[in-house]
Chains A and B, each alone.
Chain A
Amino acid sequence: MKAIPSGRRPKHLTIGRIGMYCFILVCAIFFLMPLYVMVITSLKDMDEIRAANILNLPKELSFYSWPKAWSTACTGFVCEGLKPGFFNSIKITVPSVIVSVGLSAINGYALAFWRFRGAYFFFGLCMFGAFIPYQVMVYPLLKIEDALGIYSTLPGIILVHTIFGMPILTLIFRNFYASLPIDLFKAARIDGGNFIKIFFYVIIPMSAPITIVAVILQVTGIWNDFLLGLVFAGRDNQPMTVQLNNIVQVDYGVAEYNVDMSATILTSLVPLFVYFISGRWFVRGIAAGAIKG
């Protein structure tokens, strides 16, 4: 997305422009405030949190809440912090992203270049799936996975993420492939390429930009998922979001807000990292996900 300047040339500072800057600054403060509160709360000790203003900077920095959130905070009866959740989330996210992006790329390729009768009917059905609330599908899907013997296992949750990621990913891959010059495909056909050969030698080398977009979309989406992890991952594979919620919502003992906030920051580090390093691509992912074919 190139920033093409539009509108009139900027004028010198007028009352209107000053007002505009004020409004935009107020908005920026509103958007940044929770992040600010999160960070400074995690650096205070509990006495200061109880005594002082939530918006004040810490008088003295205390870092003990960070290691505690990472490795000793309690979720129910287990006191292992977020660490197991972090590794579970990685174990869930990496294969789910690979499987769902790979499968959707093939889907998009087949739909764009190798249409057969009825293919678009099923594609429509699949897109329709993107809008069905999870709550309608959770229980029956649980029964299906139970029958397959993978409910509450790692393959089980990976399958669920693949299923729910497929509609939107298939759409963006299809749209991308449909925008490629068709002559390229025809030339490959004349040269004797078949379905598999054309995919590996012609299509995959050209797919880098859309694959990056798809991967970003899936990494943040799966890392941030809560509901599916809660229902399908099982006790041993609980993702970080679920463990974070368990740590914060413990019913007994004294609430340690600094530990809660450290845990919250730790959980959002991966998507924030992806967001900050990918910037432009992240925005492209949003646009790609929003534009329908």
Chain B
Amino acid sequence: MPLFRNIASMIALLPMIVISLTVFVGCIIYSFVYSLTNSKLIPVFNYIGFDQYERLFKQRKWDVAVENIFIYGFVFTIGCLIIGFLLAVLIDQKIRGESLFRTIFLYPYAMSFVVTGLVWKWVLNPTFGLENSMHMWGFAWFELDWLVNRDLAIYAVCIAAVWQGAGFVMVLMLAGLRGIDEDIWKSLSIEGVAKWKSYIFVILPMLRPMVVTAVVLIAAGVVKVYDLILTLTSGGPGYATTTPALYVMENFFKRADLGQAFAASIIMFISVVCILAPWAFYEFYLRNKYAAN
């Protein structure tokens, strides 16, 4: 890498620097400072310590939101990884119509969360949706009332999300599978290792970078989930499917409880940092260290 000192480059990067400092860093500082106040409709600096956080952790609604984000994060991440990996492996078997299948599995990824939410809301509609279809086909016992069931509604969100995101994991994994050396396959077949065993015990560990990337990207998206839930369940029934993102937005724009919204958003931010820090530490610090040795 050449190191030409150049003023033009600094000028060119000025927008990036200004945006990074004012928006990315500045907004977090701003949110943190005002989370220590009792601001309601407008931000006023009226210091009350960590009361907003105390209040937040006492809210039943916040507990539900946190619980939901864990369920959603777990089911969605695992679901996408398993289905995405399976599909990638199957497509890698030189099947007929490979590109057709790939197109089918990936097209939902081009759709917005709003569209995903609205479509699944209709498919899972308790009166006219799939439940009704099954009844008409004579399966009277069939129940699919997830959207109106407090305990199951969050899983409906997970299904819609997996439908939308599994293709993305498939693409990443497929890229990894296609990059695997032909010789490895040859030696595995000479050893007589069963194909499913080779995939799980040999190939999957080799795809580790792909898996890690997929998990980090999915996990970072999990915390943000907003549009999908808003359109699919609006956080309901009651507040059974509310999430931290919904909680924050509600307190900002509906309940005019700014201090509380800032506190909740700071907690969201801290949880993202907790997810990313170990990965970033590994990627950018440990790897460079070992590379240097």
Contacts and interface: CB of A to CB of B under 8 A. Distances in A.
Interface residues of A, number: 100
Main secondary structure of the interface of A (DSSP, over half): helix
Contacts of A253: none
Contact of B265 (A116, A119, A136, A170): A136
B230 interface: yes
B24 A133 contact: no
Interface stretch (A58-66, A69-77, A219-227): A219-227
A143 B168 CA distance: 35
B2 interface: yes
A220 B20 CA distance: 24
B286 interface: no
B72 to A, nearest CB: 14
B74 interface: no
A224 B111 contact: yes
Which secondary structure dominates where chain B touches chain A? Answer: helix
Contact of A133 (B8, B114, B268): B268
A141 B43 CA distance: 13
Contacts of B3: 115-116
B213 interface: yes
A182 B1 CA distance: 8
A79 interface: no
A55 B132 CA distance: 10
A53 B136 contact: yes
A102 to B, nearest CB: 11
A203 interface: no
Nearest to B245: A135
Interface string B253-273: 100001001100110110010
Contact of A136 (B17, B28, B101, B172): B28
Contacts, number: 280
Contacts of B114: 224, 226, 241, 244-245, 267
A1 B175 contact: yes
B292 interface: no
Contacts of B245: 133, 135
Nearest to B32: A136
A54 B110 contact: no
Nearest to A231: B253
Interface in B107-126: 107-115, 118-120, 122-123, 125
B68 interface: no
Nearest to B26: A140
A123 interface: yes
Contacts of B133: 53-55
Nearest to A3: B178
Interface string B54-72: 0000000000000000000
Given A126-B24, A132-B269, A139-B31, A195 B111 contact: no
A45 to B, nearest CB: 14
B129 interface: yes
A282 interface: yes
A140 B30 contact: yes
A23 interface: yes
Given A7-B94, A31-B107, A134-B226, 4 more contacts: A53-B136, A114-B4, A224-B111, A227-B249
Complex A-B, nearest 7 residue pairs according to Cβ-Cβ distance, in ascending order: A224-B112, A114-B9, A195-B8, A129-B24, A275-B110, A140-B27, A125-B20
20 contacts: A24-B90, A37-B122, A38-B119, A114-B4, A115-B2, A133-B224, A135-B226, A135-B265, A138-B252, A139-B252, A140-B30, A141-B23, A241-B112, A241-B115, A264-B115, A272-B107, A282-B106, A291-B213, A292-B213, A292-B283
Interface of B: 1-6, 8-10, 12-13, 15-17, 19-28, 30-31, 43, 83, 86-87, 90-95, 98, 101, 103-115, 118-120, 122-123, 125, 128-130, 132-133, 136-137, 163, 167-168, 171-172, 175, 177-178, 180, 182, 185, 189, 195, 213-214, 217, 220, 223-224, 226-227, 230-231, 234, 244-245, 248-249, 252-253, 258, 261-262, 265-266, 268-269, 272, 276, 283
